Amino acid sequence: MLDHASNRPALPPEIARRRTFAIISHPDAGKTTLTEKFLLFGGAIQMAGQVRAKGEARRTRSNFMQMEKDRGISVSASAMSFEYGKYRFNLVDTPGHSDFSEDTYRTLTAVDAAVMVIDGAKGVESQTQKLFEVCRMRDLPILTFCNKMDRESRDTFDIIDEIQENLAIDVTPASWPIGMGREFLGCYDLINDRLELMDRADRNVVAESVKIEGLDDPALADHIPADLLEKLREEVEMARELLPRFDRQAMAEGTLTPIWFGSAINSFGVKELMEGIAGYGPEPQVQTATPREVAPEEGKVTGFVFKVQANMDPKHRDRVAFVRLASGHFKRGMKLTHVRTKKPMAISNPVLFLASDRELAEEAWAGDIMGIPNHGQLRIGDALTEGEALRFTGIPSFAPELLQTCRAGDPLKAKHLEKALMQFAEEGAAKIFKPSFGSGFIVGVVGALQFEVLASRIELEYGLPVRFEASQFTSARWVTGDKAAVDKFINANKQHMAIDNDGDQVFLTRMQWDIDRVVRDYPDVTLSATKEMMV
């Protein structure tokens, strides 16, 4: 059986049943609640806990760092795997806060599709737009879930228009809401011609679903008040005329998104969305690498690190590297080559994440996300293979937009501070620059909230109070070019130079004029705002 789109052979069944995806949304659109309900339907948790529910025991399963618990936001992208019917879902949680964009961008390199969550009242918000652009860059297929239909929300056509205009993507309704706010009764499933009714009494049970023969079926009148039924028939007729039909190919190419309506908090519409991911979501895809692409069905195991998280278990200074398996069938204890250092690594205690529980992974397949505990050998962008020197491309590292100087509260602990900062740099949580002149470190982040997160984590995990102070520099650029030209440039600009945690030269700038001057005076030196997280 060949896949018509690409003429690739059918994948081995274990790989074909995997769906690896991320949820992208603006803060507060209900992503954490949706994640919870996925786990609930996937049988992973018995009771979905409110994010801010009372009692530690009911804390949301996908948020585990102290700061996340305090703020109710997902700061660290964690991965969760669960079974749904015959499918294996690997959900990679993206940090929902706008300040954590870089981590989120990298997470999107490790998935095959994205679920976009939109708040029915607010529509497309700025943060969603940013994340969406990254999906676009990668041509990721997108499935949309319009949440909070049980609150006063906007007209369905308005929401769809806004998505089409702001995100320049075609939208096809997979379901159509019946009523909204207090009147919200459920949805009409346009794909399967079914009526899905919401059960308001018990949020954790799955509502009833009534099989009907199309919208003219008289049985509809038993369930829907006449005025809402008339409106539903009119709107669906309009939608079918005005909006594109569902087209699998267009969705796979990322130009069309199916939209489901529902209310995650009432467990409504979630099951339909999950069936959509299972039925239409892509199987594990080919990964771009050099010197060649890597196909999931290849026999040899390959994978790449897209995130590193330090101190997941504060009692042990452990780090977990999150690895997306790109090909093959991994078995625990395998020796894989760490391509950057060319050293073999025996992977003896890899973990799979089932919500916040980790368990040893006896095996994993292409498409899975696996955690590999290590003491800092694995960095973002690293490849693991069975010997082949592959590099996975397209994992971005961005120049930080905010720079501050960081000093230890106690000057005698400067050495400890260096170690703590290096750890965060390798985790990808911040860029650390050691200026050629002067003491202290310059810490660069993509969003202001990250300074708070870093200060609180350094204090919590290392017992080091730190001060962040304004820096004279406002941005950083990596310097590349012919060695002689670069050396000449460095000698002439010593007070602007620093070294990042990989030992690469960085030019710290105060204003755009600094950059323009370099472009004018040093034509053979290149300043760049990104570097690939590569060897």
Task: For 69-116, write each residue's pLDDT tens digit.
Answer: 444 433 344 688 888 889 999 988 776 555 455 667 778 888 999 998
Of all residues in the chain, the percent with pLDDT exceeding 90 is 15
The pLDDT value given to residue 310:
66
Task: For 423-434, write each residue's pLDDT tens digit.
Answer: 888 777 788 888
Comparing CA positions, the residue from 84, 74, 75 lying closest to residue 39 is 84
The pLDDT value given to residue 6:
53
Q: Is the pTM of this model over 0.85?
A: no
CA-to-CA separations, 141 to 11, 24, 113, 325, 409, in angstroms, rounded: 19, 12, 5, 19, 48
Crossing angle of helices 156-167/126-137, nearest 10°?
50
The mean pLDDT of 349-367, rounded to a whole number, is 76
Q: What angle do CA 144, 149, 150 make, to 5 degrees?
A: 150
Task: For 108-147, write each residue's pLDDT tens digit.
Answer: 888 999 998 888 888 777 666 777 777 777 788 999 999 8
Contacts (Cβ under 8 Å, ≥6 apart) of 146: 118, 119, 120, 153, 159, 177, 259, 260, 261, 262
The pLDDT value given to residue 283:
92
Q: For residues 380 and 106, is the Cβ–Cβ distance under 8 A? A: yes
The mean pLDDT of 52-76, rounded to a whole number, is 42
Of all residues in the chain, the percent with pLDDT exceeding 70 is 81
Q: Is 195 left (phi over 0), alpha (psi -120 to 50) or beta?
A: beta
The pLDDT value given to residue 523:
87
Mean pLDDT for all residues in the chain: 79
